[in-house]
Structure 1
Amino acid sequence: MKFTALATFFLATISPLVSAYPIYKADTVNCRSSPSTSGKVVKTYKKDDDIKLTCQISGETIKGNSLWGKTSDGCYVADYYIKTGSTGLVTGRCNTGGGSSGGGSTGGDSTEMKDDYPYKSNCGPVDKWNYFKCQCTSFVAWRINSRLGISFHNRYKGKAWGNAKEWDEAARASGVTVNNTPKVGAVAQTNAGRFGHVAWVAKVSGNNVVVEEYNKGGTERYGTRTVPKSSFNYIHVRK
């Protein structure tokens, strides 16, 4: 009996703890494939259902709260609807980007490509990161926040990340790596044109990259392109 009790205690101390929290503020809440209301509904929870959170991540802002929880069912619920007792993290941050916490690799990894930008139907004034909505900089700022879980804005690390052509200098001045090596989750940046351009690296394959972007050609719309990797510099906001 002593051995059994000791073994039970030992296992309890090394087993990972996944905390359960109740759903509230709505009778039903959708659990989605990504931390955004544009994500596919994977599961629906009812009010007072206990859900287990495996990690948390920044995503689309719901009622002033941009935090989302990934549940043990593998989908995401807005933190606004989860009674955690905190406005901040109660678990670790989710890893993102091609299955790697480092933002992917050059070996053909990729992230989900879709137009999940929250302002796509509301272009115009300045967004919460202090960029004009539906511009390339606003879209990439959204992706850095939602996919990497980094609180990025146009004064990141005290430097001016204004027009896209300023991002490489701002990155270097901030101690952020800028090089010619693309990785999934990196920012593709060029100084070409009047204001330059930034895009999100979604896939790397051989000598080509697939980028997601907004406002290429002045359209204020989402698009993707496959281009030679030499077309851009690469800013690695997440190391």
Structure 2
Amino acid sequence: MLSTVITRKPVRVAVASIAGLGLAGGIALAADAATGTIRTSGASLAVRKGPGTSYAKVGTLAKGTKVDIICQTTGSSVKGTYGTSNIWDKIGTGRFVSDAYVYTGSDGRVAPSCGSTPAPSTPGGVIGNNYPYSGQTSGVDPWNFYKGQCTSFAAFRARSVKHVGFTNSYKGQHWGNANHWDDAARAAGVTTSSVPHVGDIAQSDAGSFGHVAYVAKVNSNGTFVVEEYNWAHPEHYGTRTVSRGSAHGQFDTFIRF
């Protein structure tokens, strides 16, 4: 993201930022030094692998924890103690927290820009079953697909790996059953291909409702490995190696978010 969207944080302007100061109380400070304090309503604050809520959670910090802010960057907007902000504070390698929950003494940036942010990881192999609704066979997920179905799992992969805000109404389209995803993608202007790439959502119209899966690996012989739900094991996770085609169990369209 290139823009910064901030709702003013009303109680954080008590002191000036130490960034850029040469001396404070006679003690020399590094020009880029910045610190902050985690301020939540009481719950621990999630630490993310990258600057956004769709990045993997790598830990938590308790209210009142002091942090050193290495640099700051923009990511997904978060509403927190100090209003709504899309600034994220890097506090370590692969460790980011939302600035909306960090008291720094300033409403603005207090540390240098991180420059290029970590690219969302696109795995070169099977990830494993980290689907948050594993074992649940009823109800609707937050993206408005039925839990335990192939569509819910594929939507989860698109959101968590490709870092897009995918839902059942993404870009004004009703994505619905898997056999409609290729049509919805084209109508939404999302790239579709007949050749799989790691990170694609593989799609098939075969069967009553079609099927979608996540492409985790592409082999040199043209076959590819997919992760999926509700195929070999009803409403459960599985992986398999498949080839391109329109037959039952194959995929002929690959949606590239």
Normalised to the residue count of structure 1, the TM-score between the two structures is 0.66
Q: Which runs of 5+ in 1 are unaligned?
A: 1-8, 10-16, 59-64, 99-108
Given that 2:135 and 2:236 are in contact with CA atoms closer than 8 Å, whether structure 1 keeps it comes out as no
The residue that corresponds to 1:48 in the other structure is: 66
Q: Percent identity?
A: 37
- Residues 22 and 136 (structure 1 numbering): CA distance in 2 closer, same or farther, change over 3 Å? farther
Deviations 1:30-53 (A, max 9, x none): 7576889xx685x77561223445
Partner of 1:234: 254
Q: Does 1:182 align with 2:206?
A: no
Once the two structures are TM-superposed, the CA of residue 235 in structure 1 deviates from its matched residue by: 0.7
- Equivalent residue number for residue 229 of structure 2: 214
In structure 2, the partner of 1:74 is 93
Structure 1 residues 1-239: aligned runs within 5 Å? 21-25=36-40, 31=47, 47-52=65-70, 56=75, 71=90, 73-76=92-95, 79=98, 82-83=101-102, 94-98=118-122, 110=124, 113-206=127-220, 207-217=222-232, 219-230=234-245, 231-232=250-251, 233-237=253-257
Aligned length: 201
How much does 1:145 deviate? 1.4
Distance 1:71 1:186 in 2: 29
Q: Which has the higher helix share?
A: 1
Higher alpha-carbon Rg = 2
Q: Is the 8 A contact 2:89 2:99 kept in 1?
A: no
**Structure 2: gaps of 5 or more residues:** 1-19, 21-31, 78-83
- Partners of 1:54 and 1:72 within 8 A in 2: no
Determine the C-alpha separation between the residues in 2 that align with 1:170 and 1:55: 30
